[in-house]
Structure formats: C-alpha cells, structure tokens
Copies of this chain bind each other. A is one copy, B any other.
Amino acid sequence: MMNTGRYGQYGGIYVPETLMPALVQLEREFLKFKTDEENNFYYRELLANYAGRPTPIYYAANLSKNWGNSIYLKREDLVHGGAHKTNNAIGQALLAKVMGKTRIIAETGAGQHGVACAMAGALFGLKTEIYMGEIDILRQNMNVQRMELMGAKVHAVKTGSRTLKDAINEALRDWIKNVEHTHYLLGTAAGPHPFPSIVKFFQQVIGEEARAQVLLKNKILPDYVIACVGGGSNAIGMFSAFLDDRQVKLVGVEAGGEGLDSSKHGAVLNKGTVGCLHGMKSKVLQNEDGQIQEAHSISAGLDYPSVGPEHVYLQEIGRVEYTAITDKEAVQTYYELAQSEGIIPALESSHALAYAKHLCEQNKNISVLINLSGRGDKDLAEVEKYGQSL
C-alpha cells in the first residue's frame, strides 16, 4: 500500500486477510481516479446534473432573528435523494465501475446512504444489496421502499444491536465472501483505509462550495461551522475546507441520546475510548473487555458506536470541538426549523441546528454556518412517535 491511512495514530487497516487485496486494489485505483481528468469530469458532471449541485447556502432570516445571530444553512437537503450521502455514493459507484466490479453492497442506518447507493446502482447498472438493521428498517421504512423501488435488495440485519454497527458487520462479511466482483460502498468517513480518505474526497465538495459561497455573500468567513457527526462524512466534508482557517471555530455534534450521563447515547468522541472496530483504530463505545456497546440515538444516522478516525485526530489536536445534543433537543429543533423556515431538516442535521441554537444563546453578533446534511421527510413517523412517548 502507498499509505497507511493514518490520522495521528487513528485510522489504518484492521481487517481479515481476505480483504487486504481488495483494499490494496481500492487504494491503487482511488489514487489513479483522483488525478484522472476524464473520470473527475464525469463525476463533477453527475454531481451537477444528476445530484443537483451546487447546493445553495441559505441565510435563514427567521431563524437568525429568533436566535439573535446570523445563521446560514448549507442545503445538502436539496441533493438528489435527500442527503449528502449521494455525493459519496455516486463517486464510489463510479470508482467501482472503473475497477470492473459488477456489484455494490452497503450498510445503511437512516437509509439515506442505502437510497443513495440504490440510486447510484441503478445509474451505473450495478447490482445493489443493502444491509440495514432490523430496528432501522422499522424506523426508516420509507427509505426501504425507495431502495427496493430502485431495484436494490435490502437485507434485514438481525444480529447484535440490529442497527448501523451490525449492518456494517454484515456488509463486511458479505464483502469477505464476494470480494472479487463486489465493491463495498461504505457510506461514511470510517472503516479501513482507504475508505476514510475516499469518502472525504467525495464529500469535500460540501465545504468547498460552502466556503466560496459564504465568502461571496459576506466577504468574510463565518465564526462557527457546525455539522452533525455520525460516522463523520458530512462533517469532514464540510470541515475540510475550513481546517486552515484558524479563526473559524469548527464544531461537530454527536448524538446525546438520553443524555451523556445515561447509557443511551452515541457520543463516541465525548464518551468513547480508543479501540478498533470495523477495520479502523478510532474511538469506540466499549466496556472494559473491549466489547462494543450499543449506541443510541433517535436519529438512525447517528446511532453508531464509533466514528471516523480523522475526527478523533482533529479532536486530539484541538482543531475541532465535539459536543452532543440530546434526542429531545434535536426533535425540538426539527420542529423549530420546519415552522420558522419551512424547511424540514433530517433528525441528524437537527443535532447540528440545536447546538447552533445553544451557541446563539451564549453569543452575540456571531455568524454560524450549519451543514443541513439532509431533509427530514424520512423522520416524520419517528418524530411523531417520539412526541407521543413524551
């Protein structure tokens, strides 16, 4: 391999031998792809005309007024499919095609990545199979229907916590078996090298666009840039463009679930410890014996007991602050954005919004750029159920 894929001590490759050749190939082909003009042109063209990029940044006048500070939303909710996941799915599906693979598999939590893969699979004529936890299938049923409609096969994962973590396990097992003709289209900036680099590469467009747009609009960078962190793909895609802008404070928002003092949350960067899961060294939620613990979040996309390795590094060097928002706060902010701006945010994104609200309560005259990573139509039933349980 060209590269060990490390962010500080985090990242790397920790997989059974059978997968090594595939990861070696993937790194090689990805490095070629990155500088291949034709493929990059095709990718950019698909982002524009298929996925609907660039997405705008929207100055949320009502929210700004209510919160007493300037709020900008990067509108990834407008991407085809309804979330940023499409950026990565199209990119990797193209890469898979270039590598001569005929089948893609993927894990999905909220179903957004599954939908994005089903789309990309249809677009590129790749057989598509999606692993999804049984619990997530229940709470994001509409997305299951969408995947199936587009010809993808959805496997209900009944092992472990029956959520995203176990869907990744099953996808890895499938890959181990079918590695020759199958590309594992990982949906977040996690997993073994080179996945974190690949996903970051395909999501960087978020930050690149947003930085240029905000400068064009305001001549000055925002004080804060905020994104939610599940595996960390939308956050790294957004943050990457601002890492060198030292004056811009970057905040990643994790799933606080029922509170960081409870056992029900997904706040890996806040409460996890260093470990190894899903092929990478990173932080994980685990007990003393290294058994991985179930994460919890009302938003399926943040319900993951590990996190992309670069985030652990960015936390360690102090460049990004990671914080958490509870289910309850996220749901409240979901309603608040819908009713004040007519935009229904994904529950995942609602975490980032809710933290911005806190920030606005404590600050004056700040400008905040929030990555609205997806739309929240998929969450209607879940939010209603949550409301009833209160």
Contact = CB atoms under 8 A, between A and B. Distances in A.
Interface string A323-357: 00000000000010011111110000000000000
Interface string A144-165: 0110011100000000000000
Given A377-B146, A380-B145, A123 B341 contact: yes
A145 B342 contact: no
A50 interface: yes
A343 B55 contact: no
B62 A339 contact: no
A77 B55 CA distance: 14
B78 A150 contact: no
A55 to B, nearest CB: 7
Contacts of A52: 52, 55-56, 75, 78
A49 interface: yes
A66 to B, nearest CB: 11
A384 B287 CA distance: 45
A125 B62 contact: yes
A84 B119 CA distance: 22
A341 B377 CA distance: 22
Interface string A67-89: 00000000101101000000000
State how many copies of this chain the complex holds: 2
A67 B377 CA distance: 33
B145 A339 contact: no
Interface in A119-133: 119-123, 125
B142 A377 contact: yes
B344 A149 contact: yes
Contacts of A380: 142, 145-146, 149
A103 to B, nearest CB: 16
B123 A342 contact: yes
A57 B45 CA distance: 11
25 contacts: A48-B56, A49-B56, A49-B57, A49-B58, A52-B55, A52-B56, A52-B75, A62-B122, A77-B80, A78-B80, A80-B343, A120-B342, A122-B338, A122-B339, A122-B341, A123-B341, A142-B377, A142-B380, A145-B380, A146-B377, A149-B335, A149-B380, A150-B339, A150-B342, A150-B344
